[in-house]
Structure 1
Amino acid sequence: MTDADRARSRGSRRWAIDLRPLAVPAYRRIWLGNTLAMFGFQLTAVAVPVEMYALTGDSFWVGLLGVAGFVPLLVFGLWGGAVADARDRRRVLLAGSALLWASTLGLLVHALLGGHPVVLLALVTVHSIAFAISSPARSAIVPRLLPLELVPAGSTLNYTTFTAASVVGPLAAGLIIATFGADTGLPIAYALDAVLFAGLVVATVRLPAMPPEPPAEGEARRGGLAGIADGLRYLATTPVLLLSFAIDLIAMILAMPRALFPEVAQERFGGGAAVGWLYSAIAIGAMLGGLTSGWIGRLRRQGLVLVAAVVGWGVAIALAGLARQLWLVVVLLALAGMADLVSAVLRQSMLLVYAPDRMRGRLQGVNTVVVAGGPRLGDLRAGTVAAGFGTGVAWVGGGLLSAALAIVLAVVFPALIRYRSATATARDRAVGTPAG
């Protein structure tokens, strides 16, 4: 191999996604299970709002799906995180997965029997409860399966897989609905989700037992409300993590336009497969960002890059709302997705490395509320604003406002932009050095 070839190989490794976590068998199995489950999950994520819009013809009802999804996340996400710190995380994940599977079958039966918007809201609520219970445990097990230095790479692989499923899933859902029509296509989407979810159940069954670690000296192991309170108190003492949650909420609540996609696809692009492209576009960008994410693990100014990514997200979303060609909207939403990939990986890596294991479940519970609940509140905001002022104000105005508020937050509370590499912070904490 020539010197030029070696240089190109080193350059490729700097940018290519880090696959080393897949050499760990337990992680590889759960990663494969998640890959199948996330594809099915994305089919349902498109089918539900399309079904709601077909039943009501009103984006406000589509926005109400955000309420049905968020309230259970707020309650059960925090509770599920506390349980994941007090019980065997494998068993918690199995219980939540069983309920999630049952709720997907409920959506299938509902679509086959003829839908009603209130019943659909109720089923989405149950689905969200199940997701909230299982998600903290699923995220908190990563540092148990991988060595510390591979946690950022494992987080990147998880998120990239999710975004890849978010590309293929909505496109497949759009194709199914366009080919078979809503009456037949929606039950097909729900049925495929139920079948594919079996992969995650099998992978979870094969995980090793993961009992909780002993509590710190002077600290009791507590679940329920007391455990939640302990986790929130810990979070209140770590400004970096608190600010990382706050800036993500700003981005998702103010700039997430997905509740507008069914209406925009119908009125601006004539319906058909356009809705699939809109739902896939952000994920397309995130997937491309993940495949070229080797540089993220070497960042030191992680907080500064996180803020820049959130600002980039808001600006790209606003520009997409101004575009009138489908291809241009998809390109701009993809750029927003790239920024979101960087933001998500940095936040998750900071959380998993910075927090001690005895707190990871509870903090992942908060993370579940923020990551999954923020977009649902964004759905409600987008649908409500669109009902009063039109889709243009709801889409473009939200993107610009989120970018502006992210900058203000970073300037007023500079702890986040001062934050350095998460692994460096962990080493500082180990030797008693205060972290930025």
Structure 2
Amino acid sequence: MRRFFADTRPLAIPAFRRTFAGQGTAVVGLMITAVAVPVQLYDLTRSSFVVGLSGLVGLLPVVVFGLYGGAVADAVDRRRLYLASCSVSWAATLGLLAQSLADVRSPALILGLVAVQAGSFAVSSSVRGAIVPLLVPADLVPAATALNYTVGTLGQVLGPLIAGVLIGLPGGFAYAYAADAVLFTAALYAALRLPSFGVADPVGRPGLRSVVEGLRFLGGNPVLLMSFAVDIAAMVLATPEALFPQAAATRFDGGVGPLYSAIAAGAVLAGVLGGWIGRVRRQGVALTVAVVVWSAAIAAAGFVHELWVVVVLLVVAGAADLVSAVFRQSILQTFVPDRLRGRLQGVFTVVVTGGPRLGDLRAGVMAATTTFTLAWSGAALLCIAVVVVAAVCVRPFWHYDRREAEVAQPAT
């Protein structure tokens, strides 16, 4: 059965099991707040501009603290940094709860707390990715990554549903933030129970030079560079979410909910049936194929005028997206030396967070200046061509075998 269903062997390791449970529970709360904040901002201001500003306010700290936090993660005990960053996130959530209970009605305060929460999330995300290879054997890293992505995606499905119920209650914003605060205690408990990892790079000092060293390592390794490049191409050229409202209004006479949930549902399905992922050796080829399937499914959905067919295609796209995410993360976690892993995880956090936002911008501009179909399907087809040509031309990436990386990591 393990050949078909999720490989759960990493859950036999207590430290990973606690981190897995803490992350999964915390993601539900995080998504509850991610829904509650924009709804509360609009309720206070009646301005979509202010709601959009919350996205920018959240992105900037992710970029800054994702890069710097990754450098710090290589120079200090990662357990202590993870616990500290989780504590800051929890404090920001308690701040959102307090302002709601006190009826402060200050958009500026909410945006400030969002910025703090985003920055601490960037640091904790960088650390969390860097410690997975320290918790499980190298051959179980793909399975552990698949489990983490699956539970995270499930949280992205459950969180908004719970948020919708809580926000609809009298005083619902306070209930939403309280639920996030309670759920996040699981992540704090998991951080407290982690073992001490020591310092990965004892001669390093967190700062600009340390960040540049990580970027230099990335630029000098075509396998890593291509894993990031295909991810950026997939998100910027083939991310359709910004077009869902227009599609629901002009093509399907509603149905925006199924459109938004289909990709996440596909990712959960792929995670549950992803026992085969950890057995793949040629991860460069597999990552390329996954991105091609993602882009092809997105492109096909842009030509379809039946809602149920579009939902099915988006489910396929979501499944391919989870597979590509697991391979990208697995390459990073097994290829990068431990002393640089935090820095590269920081770059990964910035890419994963910023890419979809750039994709939304690209889709919106194209839809406004060209046609809806070109914005949805044309760019996705271009993504296929770009990714295939680039992957085949970069031979180290195309021939990358994960078993070689497990035996000997590259010299720095």
Q: TM-score range by the shorter chain?
A: 0.7 to 0.9
Aligned to 1:425: 405
Cα pair distance change 1:118/1:198, threshold 3 Å: same
Cα deviation digits, residues 16-38 of structure 1 (max 9, x gap): 11111111111111111111101
Residue 238 of structure 1, aligned match among 221, 238, 246: 221
Question: 1:299 aligns to what?
Answer: 280
1:228 to 211, 216, 221: 211
Deviation (angstroms), 1:107: 4.2
Give the direction of change, closer, same or farther, for the CA distance of 1:428–1:203 in structure 2 (3 Å limit): closer
Compute the TM-score of the two structures, normalised by the length of structure 2: 0.88
Using the aligned pairs only, state the percent identity: 53
Q: Distance in 1 between matches of 2:55 and 2:135?
A: 33
Q: By how many angstroms is 1:341 displaced?
A: 1.0
Q: CA offsets, 1:126-163, max 9 Å, x none?
A: 32211111111111111111122221111111111111
Provide the rounded CA distance (Å) in 1 between the counterparts of 2:85 and 2:197: 16
Matches within 5 A, 1:326-365: 326-365=307-346
The Cα offsets for residues 89-119 of structure 1, whole Å up to 9 and x where unpaired, read as 1111122112222333444556674867766
* SS in structure 2 of the partner of residue 17 of structure 1: coil
Deviation digits for residues 348-387 of structure 1, max 9, x if unmatched?
1111111111111111111111112212322333444455
1:116-127 to structure 2, matched below 5 A, reads 121-127=111-117
Matched, 1:381 2:362: yes
Counterpart secondary structure, 2:2: helix
Provide the residue aligned with 2:183 in structure 1. Answer: 196
- Equivalent position SS for 1:16: coil
Letter paired with 2:212: A
Partners of 2:67 and 2:350 within 8 A in 1: yes
Structure 2: runs of 5 or more not aligned: none
Give the secondary structure class of the aligned counterpart of 2:205: coil
Decide which of 24, 29, 36 is 2:25's aligned counterpart: 36
Of 21, 24, 27, which residue of structure 1 is paired with 2:10?
21
User: 1: distance between equivalents of 2:251 and 2:36?
Assistant: 20
Q: Is the 8 A contact 1:89 1:137 kept in 2?
A: yes
Conserved 8 A contact 2:138-2:406: no
Distance between the aligned counterparts of 1:376 and 1:142, measured in 2?
A: 27
Answer whether contact 2:31 2:160 (CA < 8 A) is retained.
Answer: yes
Unaligned ranges ≥5, structure 1: 1-11
Q: Does the 8 Å CA contact 1:159/1:341 hold for their aligned counterparts?
A: yes
- 1:250 aligns with 233
Counterpart code for 2:114: V
Q: In the alignment, what sits opposite 1:405? A: 386
Match of 1:160 among 150, 158, 172: 150
CA separation of 1:127/1:385 partners in 2, compared to 1, >3 Å: closer, same or farther?
A: farther
Number of the residue aligned with 2:289: 308
Give the Å deviation of 1:209: 1.7
Q: Is the 8 A contact 1:46 1:279 kept in 2?
A: no
What residue number does 2:69 align with?
Answer: 80
Judge conservation of contact 1:65–1:376 (CA < 8 Å) in 2.
no
Partner of 1:368: 349
What is the letter of the counterpart of residue 16 of structure 2?
Answer: Y
Once residues 245 and 140 of structure 1 are traced to their aligned partners in structure 2, the CA distance between those partners, rounded to angstroms, is 16
Find the aligned partners of 1:251 and 1:371 in 2 and give their Cα distance.
11
TM-score by length of 1: 0.83
Distance 1:402 1:120, change over 3 A: farther
Residue type of the alignment partner of 2:205: R
Which residue of the partner structure matches residue 86 of structure 2?
97
Q: How far, CA to CA, are the matches of 1:126 and 1:154 in structure 2? A: 29
CA RMSD of aligned residues (A): 3.0
